[in-house]
Structure 1
Amino acid sequence: MNLRIFGWSYGVTVVSLVIAFLYGGWQALILCTILGILEISLSFDNAVVNATILERMSEFWQKIFLTIGIFIAVFGMRLVFPLVIVAVTAGLNPVESLTLALEQRPESDPTSYAALLDEAYPQIAAFGGMFLFMLFLDWMFTDRDVKWLQPIERFLSRIGQIERISIVLAVLALVLLAEFLAEDPAIVLLSGSLGLITYLGVQGLGQFFEQAGHAQMQEEAAADGSGGPTQLAKATGKAGFFLFLYLEVLDAAFSFDGVIGAFAITPDPIIIALGLGLIGAMFVRSLTVFLVRKGTLADYVYLEHGAHWAIGALAVILLVGIGYHVNEILTGLIGVAFIGAALLSSILRNRRLEAQGIDTHKTADELAAK
C-alpha cells in the first residue's frame, strides 16, 4: 500500500500501542490491538461510502473532512459521544460521567459506565439504525445502469419508482420494531424519528446547496461564453459544508456499533479511545484517501454496491439490537463479506471485459449494456 497515504496511520498505530503498553502493560496493548482490528473490519464499508461522497466535494472541503472531520470522528464519536450518552441517560453531568468512566467498574455492576451505556443502546440503535436504513433504501431504490446483484437490485429500483416509498417503509419498520422489540416503545420511536429527521434534513440541505452551486457554475460559464462546465461540478461553499455535515453524521451512525461493541472487550475509555479512536479512525481516513486518489471506485464498479449492502446489513443489525444482542464480530464479518464479494465480482467483470477487448476504464454508462 502507498506509504504516503497510510504512513500516518502506521505511525499513529505504533504510538497508540506504545501508550497503551505504558498505560496498562501487555494486557492493555493486546486489548488496544483487538479494538483497532475490530474498528478497521467494521469500517471498510464506511470508507467506501466516504469516498463516494468525498469525490463530489471540492478539494477544500475534502481537506476539511480529512483533517477537522477526522478529529471530530476520533474525539467526538469515539470518546465524547459515549460520555454524553451516559450523562444524559443516567442524569449525570459530564464531569461525573468522565469520572465514572475512569473508575472502570465491571460491566456486571449496574452503575458502571459500560452498563449504563449498554442500557442506552436501544435509543442509540434506533437513531443510527434508522439513519443507515434510510441511506440504504434511498440508494437501492435509485435506478442505476450498473447493477451488482441484478435481479434484486432491478426489483428494488422498480419499487423505488413509488414516491416517498423509502420513508413509508422506514416508518413502518420503526413502528413494528418499537411495538414488538422495545421495552420502552416511546423512547425508541422518538430516537428513531430523530434519526429519520436527521437523515432527511442533512441529505436534503446537502442536495439543495449542491444543485444551487452547480447551477451557479453553469450560469457563470454561459456568461463568459465557455458554454458550460465540462465536468460535474464539485460541491463548494454551502453545498460542501452540508456534504461535510452529512459525512460527519454518517460516520457517527457507522461508529455506534463499534463504540458499543468495544465495551464487550474492555470498559476502559482510554484503551477504547486509543484502539477505536486513534487507530481505527486513522485507518478509515487512509482507506478513504486511497479509494479517492487511486480511482478504486471507478476501477471496481461494484464496491459501492457492496458497501451499501453492508450498510443495509448494519442497519438491520442495529435495529434488531433494540431487542436482541447481535455479536459485534458477526457485524464486522458481514461488512467484510459484502465488500470482499463486491471486489471479487468487480475483478471478474474487468477480466471478462478485457478478454473481449473492452476498455474497463470507460464510464459506467458506456459499459452498462455490456
Structure 2
Amino acid sequence: MLLKTFGWSFAVTALGLLAAVLYGGWAGFGIVAILSILEISVSFDNAVVNAGILKKMNAFWQKIFLTVGVLIAVFGMRLVFPVVIVAVSARIGPVEAVQLALDEQDKYQQLVTDAHPSIAAFGGMFLLMIFLDFVFEDREFKWLAWLERPLAKLGKIDMLSVCIALIVLLVSATTFATHAHQYGGIHVDKAQTVLIAGIAGLITYLVVGGLSGYFENKLEEEEREHEAEEAARTSGTKVPAVVMAGKAAFFLFLYLEVLDASFSFDGVIAAFAITNDIVLMSLGLGIGAMYVRSLTVYLVRQGTLDDYVYLEHGAHYAIGALAVILLVTIQYEIHEVITGLVGVVLIGWSFFSSVRRNRRLAAAGARGAGSDEKTEVSSGV
C-alpha cells in the first residue's frame, strides 16, 4: 500500500536529487532537499483538506488528481507561476522572463518579491473564505466545541463569511498595504493592488466553490432518487446522474487545483529565502508537491479522516492561520519556519485529540459490552 501510493514520489525524489547534483553539485543537492522538506511541512494541512474533498471522488478522478493534477501543481504552480509573475509585473514576454530567471537571478527575485502583496492578497482571501465557510457550518463533530457551537449559530446569517472577508481585506489594504514590504527593505503604498487582488481571490473562490458545491448538491439529489434512476435504467431511459457525477467531480477537481495554487503561493515565496535559482527551486518544490499529493491519496485510501475526525478541523484552523500570515506578510516578513510550525502544531493537536476521543469511545464500548455479558449470565441462571 505504501509503495503503491508513494512510488511515484520516491521515483521523482531520486530523479530530482540526481538532477540537483548534476546541475548544482552537492550544494544543489542540499538546497533541493531543504526545499522539499519546506514544501511538505508548509503544505501538510493542504493534504488533509484535499483528502476531505478527494474522498468524494471515484478512483478515476483520484487518478486524474495524481497525474494531470501533479503536472499542474509541479510544472504549473512551481515552475510556470513564478515566471508568469515576473512577466506580468515587469511587463515582459514569458521567454524574456525565463531568461531573466536563468541569467539575472537577483533581478528575478526582486520582481517576484515586489509582486508579493498581490499574491498574498489573492491567496490570503481564497484561504480565508475556506476557513470561514468551514467554521460557520454546523458539523456533526466539534473539536473546540466552546468556539465552534456559537460560530455555527452565527453561520446561519446569509453571506456572513463574505462580509467578514471583505472587512478583513479592507483593513489589510488600509494598514499593511499602505506600507507594503518590497525588495531591499523599502516600503511602498500597494493599497489599490491589494484590494484588486483580494477581490479577485474572493471572486475565484465564490465561482469555483459555488460551481463545485452546486454540482455536488445535484449529485446528492440524484442519489436520493436512486429508485427512480433504477426504473429509468430498466426502461432504457437515459440517466442524468452519470453526467452530473462527471460535472461534480470535474469542478471538485478544479476547486482542488485552485486550492493547491493558493497554498503554493506561500511555498514559492518562502523558497526565495533559501535560493533564487529557478531550477533548484522547481526541483525542490516539485518533489515536495509530489509527496503532498501522495499523502492526500494515502489519507483517503486508509480512511484516516474517518478514524481521526478532528484532523479536518486542525487543517482548516491551519488554513485560517496561513491566510492571516499571508496578509500580514504584505508589510512584515515572517520566517517560513513559523509558517510551517503553525500548521504542524494545529494538525498534531487535532490528531491527538482524535486519538483521545477514540480511546474514550473504545473504553465506553468495552464497559458496555461487559455490562451486557453480565446481564446475559444472570438471565441464564
Alpha-carbon shift at residue 225 of structure 1 (Å): 5.0
- In structure 2, the residue matched to 1:366 is none
| Alpha-carbon distance between aligned partners in 2 of 1:41 and 1:282, rounded to the nearest angstrom | 13
Out of 201, 210, 221, the position equivalent to 1:195 is: 201
Alpha-carbon shift at residue 221 of structure 1 (Å): 2.9
- In structure 2, the residue matched to 1:216 is 222
Q: Which letter does structure 2 place at the counterpart of 1:353?
A: L
Alpha-carbon shift at residue 215 of structure 1 (Å): 2.7
Alpha-carbon shift at residue 301 of structure 1 (Å): 0.5
Q: Which letter does structure 2 place at the counterpart of 1:356?
A: A
| Alpha-carbon distance between aligned partners in 2 of 1:99 and 1:236, rounded to the nearest angstrom | 44
| Alpha-carbon distance between aligned partners in 1 of 2:159 and 2:243, rounded to the nearest angstrom | 27
Provide the secondary structure at the position in 2 that maps to 1:224: helix
- In structure 1, the residue matched to 2:150 is 155
Higher helix share: 2
- In structure 2, the residue matched to 1:45 is 45
Kindly report which structure 2 residues correspond to 1:297-336, keeping only aligned pairs within 5 A, or say none: 297-336=305-344
Larger Cα Rg: Structure 1 or Structure 2?
2
Is 2:126 the counterpart of 1:145? Answer: no
Identify if the C-alpha distance between structure 1 residues 223 and 132 changes in structure 2 by more than 3 Å, giving closer, same or farther.
closer
| Alpha-carbon distance between aligned partners in 1 of 2:312 and 2:366, rounded to the nearest angstrom | 22
Q: Which letter does structure 2 place at the counterpart of 1:189?
A: L
- Asked if the contact 2:122–2:197 (Cα under 8 Å) also holds between the matched residues in 1, the reply is yes
Out of 274, 277, 285, the position equivalent to 2:293 is: 285
Q: Map Cα deviations across residues 222-257 of structure 1 (whole Å, 9 max, x no partner).
A: 24359xxxxxx9972111111111000000000000
Q: Which letter does structure 1 place at the counterpart of 2:97?
A: S
- In structure 2, the residue matched to 1:119 is 114
- In structure 2, the residue matched to 1:261 is 270
Is 2:266 the counterpart of 1:271? Answer: no
Identify if the C-alpha distance between structure 1 residues 104 and 335 changes in structure 2 by more than 3 Å, giving closer, same or farther.
farther
Is 2:340 the counterpart of 1:345? Answer: no
Alpha-carbon shift at residue 104 of structure 1 (Å): 4.7
| Alpha-carbon distance between aligned partners in 2 of 1:293 and 1:262, rounded to the nearest angstrom | 31
- In structure 2, the residue matched to 1:81 is 81
Alpha-carbon shift at residue 326 of structure 1 (Å): 1.2
Q: Map Cα deviations across residues 254-280 of structure 1 (whole Å, 9 max, x no partner).
A: 000000010110001110111001x11
Is 2:250 the counterpart of 1:244? Answer: no
- Asked if the contact 1:131–1:195 (Cα under 8 Å) also holds between the matched residues in 2, the reply is yes
Provide the secondary structure at the position in 1 that maps to 2:118: helix
| Alpha-carbon distance between aligned partners in 2 of 1:341 and 1:211, rounded to the nearest angstrom | 32
- In structure 1, the residue matched to 2:4 is 4
Alpha-carbon shift at residue 14 of structure 1 (Å): 1.6
- In structure 2, the residue matched to 1:57 is 57
| Alpha-carbon distance between aligned partners in 2 of 1:60 and 1:179, rounded to the nearest angstrom | 46
| Alpha-carbon distance between aligned partners in 2 of 1:9 and 1:235, rounded to the nearest angstrom | 32
| Alpha-carbon distance between aligned partners in 1 of 2:115 and 2:244, rounded to the nearest angstrom | 36
Provide the secondary structure at the position in 1 that maps to 2:275: coil
- In structure 1, the residue matched to 2:181 is none
Q: Which letter does structure 2 place at the counterpart of 1:44?
A: F
- Asked if the contact 1:32–1:272 (Cα under 8 Å) also holds between the matched residues in 2, the reply is yes
- Asked if the contact 1:131–1:253 (Cα under 8 Å) also holds between the matched residues in 2, the reply is yes
Out of 113, 122, 128, the position equivalent to 2:123 is: 128
Alpha-carbon shift at residue 6 of structure 1 (Å): 1.6
Q: Map Cα deviations across residues 4-51 of structure 1 (whole Å, 9 max, x no partner).
A: 212221221121111101111111000000000000101110000111
RMSD: 1.9
| Alpha-carbon distance between aligned partners in 1 of 2:65 and 2:197, rounded to the nearest angstrom | 27
- Asked if the contact 1:20–1:28 (Cα under 8 Å) also holds between the matched residues in 2, the reply is yes
Q: Percent identity?
A: 59
Identify if the C-alpha distance between structure 1 residues 234 and 57 changes in structure 2 by more than 3 Å, giving closer, same or farther.
farther
| Alpha-carbon distance between aligned partners in 1 of 2:229 and 2:2, rounded to the nearest angstrom | 43
Q: Map Cα deviations across residues 110-167 of structure 1 (whole Å, 9 max, x no partner).
A: xx11111000000000000000000000000001121111111122212212111100
| Alpha-carbon distance between aligned partners in 2 of 1:187 and 1:116, rounded to the nearest angstrom | 15
Report the number of matched residues.
348
- Give structure 1 stretches of 5+ with no counterpart: 107-111, 227-232, 360-370
- In structure 1, the residue matched to 2:23 is 23
Q: Which letter does structure 1 place at the counterpart of 2:335?
A: N
- In structure 2, the residue matched to 1:167 is 162
Q: Which letter does structure 2 place at the counterpart of 1:13?
A: T
Alpha-carbon shift at residue 214 of structure 1 (Å): 3.1
Identify if the C-alpha distance between structure 1 residues 272 and 235 changes in structure 2 by more than 3 Å, giving closer, same or farther.
farther
Alpha-carbon shift at residue 217 of structure 1 (Å): 4.2
Identify if the C-alpha distance between structure 1 residues 306 and 80 changes in structure 2 by more than 3 Å, giving closer, same or farther.
same
Alpha-carbon shift at residue 294 of structure 1 (Å): 0.3
- Asked if the contact 1:104–1:267 (Cα under 8 Å) also holds between the matched residues in 2, the reply is no
Q: Which letter does structure 2 place at the counterpart of 1:145?
A: E
| Alpha-carbon distance between aligned partners in 1 of 2:324 and 2:44, rounded to the nearest angstrom | 17
Identify if the C-alpha distance between structure 1 residues 149 and 5 changes in structure 2 by more than 3 Å, giving closer, same or farther.
same
| Alpha-carbon distance between aligned partners in 1 of 2:90 and 2:229, rounded to the nearest angstrom | 59
- Asked if the contact 2:218–2:244 (Cα under 8 Å) also holds between the matched residues in 1, the reply is no
Q: Which letter does structure 2 place at the counterpart of 1:95?
A: V
